[in-house]
Structure 1
Amino acid sequence: MTHTERILRRGERPDVLDPEHARRALRETFMGAQGRQYIQIPLIDVIARTWLEQDIHVNMSILDSQQAREAMAQTALPRGHVRVGPAARIRGQYLFWWQLMLHIIDYIYLGDANQLPTREDIDTLVAHVGGTSYMPGFNEEELAAIQVMLDRYRDADPSATLTSDQVLDRFVLPALVQGDRHWVSNPDHHRPGTILRGAHESMLRVALIDCRRKLTQDRELTDLECVYARLDTLLQEGCLDTLPTFNCLDTLPTFKQLVAEYNAQHAALPFAWPHGPDEPGDRP
């Protein structure tokens, strides 16, 4: 059994995707995206591909029901997430991403990129949930970035034939490194929220350490934590140049740059990669 298989077999997995399970997974992607909304797309994608690979079935009549949508709309923000304005704006964001997640699930389970929304579909959905171009999360820059990411999937994997491991390598890791460097590497960018201990802390670093701790303690991982744990393995193996068939080696120079930029600002508590001891004081 591979390390990835050991990670994914921790805990019981349902035969049919429960809306509550999907809601928790989507909620996690808001923190994983670090305010760069387009990063939610590869996170949702790799989680959903993993569900399919685990033979977890979906019932769209349940996931797209009024009850499921309303439960998502009333979800609290993740711990430490920056306040994003009135409740109506939070509700609109959750409803928008719930429907976008269903599109992505359809794309993966049906193997058809035509299930992914067009820009016209996205604009219609934004209006349906009460969003406007003046609202954070719905402005042109953010919607355009979402569309670019969706188009990358259309071009690279129109029939959704990539495995979840391949998606981790080709889409998830590059997106997370890019998102992290936005906050870590630019002194003018101050990360919002309180889940990390500093404005220029690395979300990727903290997530990798947290997953290592939970695995050591034999605790069950969430869907997003499984993503980080598998990325950790990918980075470790990529560092040793043992994945010649993966693109991870193309991303490693940028990842190493992220590590160097982080360590230049955090000499007292560096990003100890690739070996990564369990450092204290990662959370505020």
Structure 2
Amino acid sequence: MANIASDNHGLRLFVRYAVLVLIAVIFIFPLVFMLMSSLKPDQQLLIDTKSLAAFLPVGDISLDNYAAAFRRAPVGLFVFNSVLITGVTVLLSLIVCSAAAFAFVFIDWRGRELILTIILATLIVPFETIAIPLLLISSKLPWIGLDGLTYGWLNSYQVQIVPFITDGLTIFLFVQYFKDLPGELIEAARVEGASWWQVYRRVVMPLAGPVLATAAILKFLAMYNQYLWPLMVVQQEAYRPVMVGLQYFFQLNRAWGEIMAYLSMITVPVLAFYLFLQRAFIASIASTGVKG
């Protein structure tokens, strides 16, 4: 009986891992296709799409498409802009939204339920409905920079960052997570004389690793894939992000190999961010378990 139970357990484990491997292969196929296509000339690329050769490094393989992509557009500048805009926005968003959620959950003040309800109601408002009013406001706002006081945020980094620092979804994620934290920890810290800032920084945030990772991933993907807003507010090449830069490859003669090369290069920051966040998330879970 023990051998039968052991065999059944082994079979279930094998089936589970087989399913997981199949799912992983399905998800990785587009990345493999993109990478292999970026190494092939256009004619071969289109022919190979009719067979499994599209996923294999066969035929005339070279890095010519990558060199052509750099000649067609300032790829490095676009990647730098997107990484800068996305990184700053994610960092500020995690700080501001977590602090707001902390105030909604742990600090008792008049009207907090009403204000939280209004914030959550913004989740049903499409960005397209506020894009034009936001554009008009951004074109007249003052800004103090290296050139002194100027008016109008168009063609700048701040116009792509500031409007997206806070959002209802990120605040909601933090609120829901903070509500599940043990209230005794907060009460004990307050009894010991800790200020609200100390409670937030030393008690709550060290336990918020999972929600920080979740919010960071969602915010990163939303910001890195921005297209409509940068297209509206940025006309100078120096401030364009990667998604707006993609239109360079659909002008005049369209080269699919160059497009695939460009997509491969702009995917690197996403994969790097995922791998970094995965390690940080695991470390956070481990440290939280030890503290508990």
Compute the TM-score of the two structures, normalised by the length of structure 1: 0.29
Higher helix fraction: Structure 1 or Structure 2? Answer: 2
The structure that has the greater radius of gyration is 2
Compute the TM-score of the two structures, normalised by the length of structure 2: 0.28
